[in-house]
Structure 1
Amino acid sequence: MSADAGLPAERTRLAWRRTLLTLTVVLLLQLRPAFTGRVVDAVLAGVAILVWLVVLAAAWRRATGTGPHRLGRLSMPLTALGAAGLALLGVAHVLGRVH
């Protein structure tokens, strides 16, 4: 057994944590326009929260390295779809600001 046998698992956990942290920051940036009073911005922020919660649920056990991975192979595609969804919501926010 080599000295670095646990390193791949640790790198994977750290990568999932970085992904969740990045998506959390993106979510927080998307929440800012929701307080302008426009209904469209509030709805987009609500959708962003739902997408973030799905990604969080899909990736949390992988990110923390705790417990069995209930979603198994689905956590990575769900995270990718969630990240793409948050990016599209960001584009919607930007396009909504351009008149």
Structure 2
Amino acid sequence: MAGSLPRERPRPARDPGLQPERTRLAWRRTTLSCTLVAILAGRQVVQHHGPGPVVVVAVALVLLVWLAFLAAAHLRMRAMGTGRPPVLSARTALALAGCVCALAVLGAAILL
């Protein structure tokens, strides 16, 4: 038939190889980088006697963004352990990218 839809072939069993492990390691490296930014932000406040309110608010925001990123990354790393991990949604990807950008901006604001 010319107008019929092609039949979907059955998918073979997934052989993930080392790809999930590499992805988990990438998530861990990214989480470590974000943790380093949060630690350096806290160190900046501790080293300055009487930091201004802007710096204190920026550090609080860094910690909040870091916790959000840590939670999302942890969920994603756990998802990598399944046989066929779910696709990262556009909403989650946008939120994670926003967390990384916010950490960069807040880290720069604390240093200046």
Q: Scaled by the length of structure 2, what TM-score is found?
A: 0.67
For the aligned residues, what is the CA RMSD? 2.5
Contact 1:58 1:78 in 2 (8 A): no
CA-CA distance at 1:63 after TM superposition: 2.6
CA-CA distance at 1:66 after TM superposition: 5.4
Write out aligned runs for 1:1-99 (5 A). Answer: 5-35=16-46, 36=48, 37-38=50-51, 39-64=53-78, 65=80, 72-73=88-89, 74-95=91-112
Aligned sequence identity (%): 41
Output the amino acid matched with 1:40.
V
Partner SS state of residue 66, structure 2: helix
Structure 2 gaps, min length 5? 1-11
Number of residue pairs the alignment of both structures matches: 91
Contact 2:27 2:73 in 1 (8 A): yes
Structure with greater helix percent: 1
Paired with 1:83 and 1:51, the residues of 2 have a C-alpha distance of 8
Contact 2:59 2:110 in 1 (8 A): no
The superposition leaves residues 18-51 of structure 1 with CA deviations (integer Å, 9 ceiling, x where unpaired) of 1101110111111112222212221111010000
